[in-house]
Amino acid sequence: MSDREIQDSVIRALADAPFRASPDWRGLALADPTRLERFARFLARHFYHERLVHFFKYSRALARVTGRRPDAVLPGFDALLPTVVLGSRETARAVAALAVRHVRPASAPQTIPYLADLLEYEEAMMIAEAGPRVWRDDAREVIARSREQFPPEKVEGTVLLDLAYDLPAVLPKLLQPWTEVPQASPQHGRLLIARSPHGRVTVARADAAVASVVELADGRKTLPELARETGLRSDDLEATLAGLADLGAVRFATGS
Amino acid sequence: MRSAELMVGAFYNPHLAAELVRAEGIDHLAMADPPAPHDPHWPAIKQRYTLLLHDYLGQLSEPLDERSIVRARSLAELYRTPWVAEHFQCLHTEDGRYNINYVFPPLYTEEFLQRFVTNANALQARLDQPLVMENIPGFFDVKASQLPEPVWLRRFFEGTGAGFLLDLPHIWLEAHYRAVKPAAWLAEFPLERVVELHVAGVVEDNDLQGPWIAPAAPSDEMLDFMALAVSRCPRAQAVTFDAFSPSLTPEVLLSSVERIRQSL
């Protein structure tokens, strides 16, 4: 085992609670288990507090009306600690659900009719950000080279969100000073939420063409098949796919 | 006597920008993040202050890729920083699968020393400013480490010529958890390499069941420790109040900088 592999084991033990409890880790006897457990719990609380503050900042801005701060759920976070894997989609889903369950019963449906949409949006953003990421650019070259050769597929974590209110219009207003709760007009729309391989989360309004490409890109359909099923011209399909690949919403499957 | 030669500053906290634009007695601001695209105070901040690049550039256990180097160069140019700071840290696995998203030291081994020296030298060759590296505290020892941290750091600086960004609360915390006197632990480090010092408070943490880093005002004990450290760092050029958090108030930032200045 190289020193780098040992360091990776320590990082994994700090990030991955089930691994930390496993005989594989304990057998290495690399660190005082009590000290390591304390530090891992500190890291977990820090990691998810930071994400709740960031991804639920809009419902946090509404806390003076709802009476519910989404980051206040962290005391209830302890029950999750034995299963937490920092950065995993499963843990992001569990922690985001804690926040949503905490804020959703807020007794303000008349003043904030779009609250359900907002919480769904914030939850989707936090889950989309999770998952392994590319820290160095070497792997990106493979992705770029493979673009022309392989069928496109939706990247895990990419979400199409159906909304009943025009959230994009109201979100910036929530972070400005306000006395009357900013309102969103009732307007059905779809948002695409995707994450780049480097971890940058992007939100874009999804028109019908974008939505159909995302829904149909399963890693098996070829470009001509996709063009036929979406009704897009070949040039338009390629431009749409290029845009979606840049956002991280689709990738080009290698078949491996 | 050193106070006349030293810059005293803080971190740029964007939520305190209006106060920082008007503040007196702050010589420099360290930049942990790039300015937001529509930060209305950024032009005045940039014009008024010496800015120190203190962003996450990458972990030097691996070579920085071209994208990270270009970003570092671009930020250094934007800030006109006198030096570029990074940390002795290794916080994500080599395959990127696990990331603790918090400063965490590498194993203090020959292999990691070689990695950091090689990769820091490669980074320095691409920068137009000197590189300074900040010490990171360990809450627990890893048995695979081979060298004491101060020895490992000394050899790193000898192998690279980089400067030392001495984080004093980090030294204080390590001394606390090793049950040794902070001054004695500090004396082990290569203080002749120090270019900048960080000072802040520590607070009790429930998970750790002991003190840890926090965006809090330094105690009188920490300020005395800082004065001692500065007296032993002949090449130090700046002392920075190391607090970067949305919870930081203008009162804590401004009074901490003032108390740091008075203690030098």
Distance linking the first and last C-alpha atoms of chain A: 28
In this prediction, residues A84-101 reach a mean pLDDT of 95
Report the range of poorest mean pLDDT among A217-231, A240-254, B209-223, B233-247: A240-254
Q: How confident is the model at residue B3 (pLDDT cuts 50, 70, 90)?
A: low
* Minimal CA separation from B250 to chain A, in Å: 19
Neighbours of B138 (CB within 10 A): 21
Domain ranges of chain B: 2-263
Residue A48, CA distances (Å) to A177, A197, A244, B105, B141 in order: 26, 20, 28, 21, 25
- Cα gap B98→A85, rounded to integer Å: 8
Residue-wise pLDDT tens digits, B28-53:
999 999 999 889 999 999 999 999 99
Is 70 exceeded by the pLDDT of residue A145? no
Q: Note the pLDDT tens digit of each residue in B73-121.
A: 999 999 999 999 999 999 999 998 999 999 999 999 999 999 999 999 9
How far apart, in whole angstroms, are the C-alpha atoms of residue B198 and residue B215? Answer: 12
Query: B residues 145-204 near A, CB within 8 Å?
Result: none
The answer to whether the Cβ–Cβ distance between A32 and B140 falls below 8 Å is yes
The CATH number of the structural domain formed by A133-256 is: 3.90.930.50
- Spell out the domain ranges in chain A: 1-131, 133-256
Give residue-wise pLDDT tens across range A41-55.
999 999 999 999 999
Rg (CA), chain A: 21
Q: Is the pLDDT of residue A138 over 70?
A: no
Chain A residues in contact with B106 by the CB 8 A cut-off are 7
A79-88, A243-252, B154-163: least confident range: A243-252
CATH classification (class only), B2-263: alpha beta
Contact B108, B148 (CB under 8 A): yes
Compute the mean pLDDT over every residue in chain A, rounded to the nearest whole number.
89
The pTM score is 0.90
Residue B69 banded pLDDT, cuts 50, 70, 90 = very high
Say what the pLDDT of residue B16 is.
Answer: 96
Per DSSP, helices labelled H in B138-236 are 149-160, 168-178, 182-186, 220-231
**Confidence check: pLDDT of A141 > 60:** no
Does B140 contact A3 at a Cβ distance shorter than 8 Å? Answer: no
ipTM: 0.93
What is the Cα A113 distance to its own chain's centre?
24
